[in-house]
Amino acid sequence: MDETRLLSWSRDNTARLWDVETGAEIRRFEHPGWARGALLSADNANLLTWGGENVALLWDAQSGEVLERFDHFGLILGASFTPDGDGVLTWGGARAQLWDKTSGVIEGDFSHYPYLLWTADLSPDGHALTTTGEGRARLWDVGIGSVITEYHGTDWSEGGR
Protein backbone atom coordinates (compact mmCIF):
# COMPACT_ATOMS: atom_id res chain seq x y z
CA MET A 1 0.00 0.00 0.00
CA ASP A 2 1.17 3.54 -0.59
CA GLU A 3 0.64 6.67 1.48
CA THR A 4 -2.42 7.73 -0.57
CA ARG A 5 -4.62 4.80 0.50
CA LEU A 6 -5.71 3.22 3.76
CA LEU A 7 -7.10 -0.29 4.25
CA SER A 8 -9.62 -1.10 7.00
CA TRP A 9 -11.72 -4.12 7.95
CA SER A 10 -14.64 -4.59 10.28
CA ARG A 11 -17.24 -6.76 11.95
CA ASP A 12 -19.69 -5.41 9.37
CA ASN A 13 -18.24 -8.07 7.02
CA THR A 14 -16.29 -5.62 4.88
CA ALA A 15 -12.80 -4.50 4.07
CA ARG A 16 -12.55 -1.02 2.62
CA LEU A 17 -9.93 0.87 0.70
CA TRP A 18 -9.91 4.63 1.42
CA ASP A 19 -8.39 7.70 -0.18
CA VAL A 20 -6.31 9.26 2.61
CA GLU A 21 -6.49 12.82 1.27
CA THR A 22 -10.24 13.01 0.64
CA GLY A 23 -11.51 10.35 3.07
CA ALA A 24 -13.57 8.87 0.23
CA GLU A 25 -14.15 5.14 0.02
CA ILE A 26 -12.37 3.81 -3.09
CA ARG A 27 -13.68 0.25 -2.95
CA ARG A 28 -15.63 -2.02 -0.61
CA PHE A 29 -14.93 -5.77 -0.38
CA GLU A 30 -17.79 -7.86 1.06
CA HIS A 31 -16.39 -10.79 3.06
CA PRO A 32 -18.69 -13.67 4.13
CA GLY A 33 -18.91 -13.25 7.88
CA TRP A 34 -16.80 -11.02 10.10
CA ALA A 35 -13.71 -9.71 8.32
CA ARG A 36 -10.95 -10.38 10.88
CA GLY A 37 -8.22 -8.93 8.69
CA ALA A 38 -7.15 -7.68 5.28
CA LEU A 39 -3.85 -7.16 3.51
CA LEU A 40 -2.72 -5.72 0.19
CA SER A 41 -0.10 -7.58 -1.83
CA ALA A 42 3.34 -5.99 -2.23
CA ASP A 43 2.47 -4.90 -5.79
CA ASN A 44 -0.97 -3.57 -4.67
CA ALA A 45 -2.65 -5.73 -7.34
CA ASN A 46 -4.39 -8.12 -4.93
CA LEU A 47 -6.17 -7.87 -1.62
CA LEU A 48 -6.59 -10.70 0.86
CA THR A 49 -9.44 -10.83 3.41
CA TRP A 50 -9.99 -13.50 6.05
CA GLY A 51 -12.18 -14.34 8.98
CA GLY A 52 -15.76 -15.49 9.19
CA GLU A 53 -16.94 -18.70 7.58
CA ASN A 54 -13.36 -20.10 7.88
CA VAL A 55 -12.49 -18.59 4.54
CA ALA A 56 -9.89 -16.27 3.04
CA LEU A 57 -10.64 -14.49 -0.22
CA LEU A 58 -8.21 -13.20 -2.83
CA TRP A 59 -9.48 -10.10 -4.61
CA ASP A 60 -8.43 -8.05 -7.60
CA ALA A 61 -7.79 -4.78 -5.75
CA GLN A 62 -8.69 -2.67 -8.77
CA SER A 63 -11.94 -4.31 -9.93
CA GLY A 64 -13.11 -5.79 -6.62
CA GLU A 65 -13.59 -9.21 -8.24
CA VAL A 66 -12.99 -12.34 -6.14
CA LEU A 67 -10.15 -14.26 -7.79
CA GLU A 68 -9.88 -17.24 -5.42
CA ARG A 69 -11.40 -18.71 -2.27
CA PHE A 70 -9.35 -20.57 0.34
CA ASP A 71 -11.43 -22.77 2.68
CA HIS A 72 -9.25 -23.08 5.76
CA PHE A 73 -9.67 -26.00 8.16
CA GLY A 74 -11.14 -24.10 11.12
CA LEU A 75 -11.28 -20.49 12.25
CA ILE A 76 -8.78 -18.24 10.47
CA LEU A 77 -6.86 -15.90 12.77
CA GLY A 78 -4.47 -14.58 10.14
CA ALA A 79 -3.26 -14.75 6.57
CA SER A 80 -0.41 -13.43 4.46
CA PHE A 81 1.07 -13.61 1.01
CA THR A 82 4.11 -15.82 0.51
CA PRO A 83 7.42 -13.96 0.05
CA ASP A 84 7.42 -14.67 -3.71
CA GLY A 85 3.81 -13.46 -4.01
CA ASP A 86 2.65 -16.71 -5.64
CA GLY A 87 0.92 -18.18 -2.60
CA VAL A 88 -1.20 -17.48 0.44
CA LEU A 89 -0.63 -18.66 4.01
CA THR A 90 -3.63 -18.99 6.35
CA TRP A 91 -3.53 -19.95 10.02
CA GLY A 92 -5.87 -20.58 12.92
CA GLY A 93 -7.41 -23.40 14.88
CA ALA A 94 -4.57 -25.89 15.08
CA ARG A 95 -3.27 -25.52 11.49
CA ALA A 96 -1.39 -23.40 9.04
CA GLN A 97 -2.20 -23.99 5.39
CA LEU A 98 -0.19 -22.92 2.36
CA TRP A 99 -2.15 -22.33 -0.85
CA ASP A 100 -1.34 -21.76 -4.51
CA LYS A 101 -2.70 -18.27 -5.18
CA THR A 102 -3.87 -19.01 -8.71
CA SER A 103 -5.44 -22.47 -8.41
CA GLY A 104 -6.54 -22.40 -4.76
CA VAL A 105 -4.93 -25.81 -4.20
CA ILE A 106 -3.37 -26.58 -0.80
CA GLU A 107 0.39 -26.97 -1.18
CA GLY A 108 1.11 -27.53 2.51
CA ASP A 109 -0.86 -28.41 5.62
CA PHE A 110 0.99 -27.89 8.91
CA SER A 111 -0.74 -29.23 12.01
CA HIS A 112 0.11 -27.60 15.35
CA TYR A 113 -2.28 -30.05 17.07
CA PRO A 114 -3.12 -30.42 19.92
CA TYR A 115 -2.17 -26.78 20.51
CA LEU A 116 -4.15 -23.84 19.18
CA LEU A 117 -2.21 -21.81 16.65
CA TRP A 118 -1.98 -18.04 17.12
CA THR A 119 0.63 -16.97 14.58
CA ALA A 120 2.52 -18.28 11.58
CA ASP A 121 5.22 -16.76 9.42
CA LEU A 122 7.31 -17.82 6.44
CA SER A 123 11.03 -17.16 6.15
CA PRO A 124 12.06 -14.62 3.49
CA ASP A 125 13.03 -17.45 1.10
CA GLY A 126 9.77 -19.34 1.80
CA HIS A 127 11.59 -22.54 2.78
CA ALA A 128 10.87 -22.42 6.52
CA LEU A 129 7.69 -21.77 8.49
CA THR A 130 7.21 -20.92 12.14
CA THR A 131 3.96 -21.66 13.96
CA THR A 132 3.29 -20.55 17.52
CA GLY A 133 0.55 -21.03 20.06
CA GLU A 134 -0.15 -22.10 23.63
CA GLY A 135 3.47 -21.93 24.77
CA ARG A 136 4.81 -23.88 21.79
CA ALA A 137 6.70 -22.81 18.70
CA ARG A 138 7.47 -25.11 15.80
CA LEU A 139 9.92 -24.58 12.98
CA TRP A 140 8.93 -26.42 9.79
CA ASP A 141 10.69 -27.41 6.58
CA VAL A 142 8.09 -26.27 4.03
CA GLY A 143 9.44 -28.49 1.23
CA ILE A 144 8.93 -31.76 3.08
CA GLY A 145 6.24 -30.56 5.49
CA SER A 146 7.90 -31.78 8.66
CA VAL A 147 8.89 -30.20 11.95
CA ILE A 148 12.58 -29.34 12.18
CA THR A 149 12.39 -28.50 15.87
CA GLU A 150 9.88 -27.58 18.55
CA TYR A 151 10.32 -25.10 21.37
CA HIS A 152 8.36 -25.23 24.61
CA GLY A 153 7.28 -22.13 26.53
CA THR A 154 8.28 -20.48 29.74
CA ASP A 155 9.20 -22.42 32.83
CA TRP A 156 6.32 -21.16 34.99
CA SER A 157 7.96 -22.52 38.15
CA GLU A 158 10.24 -19.45 38.07
CA GLY A 159 7.32 -17.02 38.11
CA GLY A 160 7.02 -16.76 34.35
CA ARG A 161 10.15 -14.68 33.86
> How do residues 111-129 score in pLDDT, each as one tens digit?
988 888 899 999 999 999 9
**Number of domains within the chain:** 1
Domain that holds residue 31: 5-158
Measured distance CA(145)–CA(143) in Å, rounded: 6
Tell me, what amino acid is at 120?
A
Summarised one tens digit per residue, pLDDT across range 137-160 is 999 999 999 999 999 875 444 444
Measured distance CA(14)–CA(149) in Å, rounded: 38
Summarised one tens digit per residue, pLDDT across range 28-50 is 999 998 999 999 999 999 999 99
What is the CATH number for 115?
A: 2.130.10.10
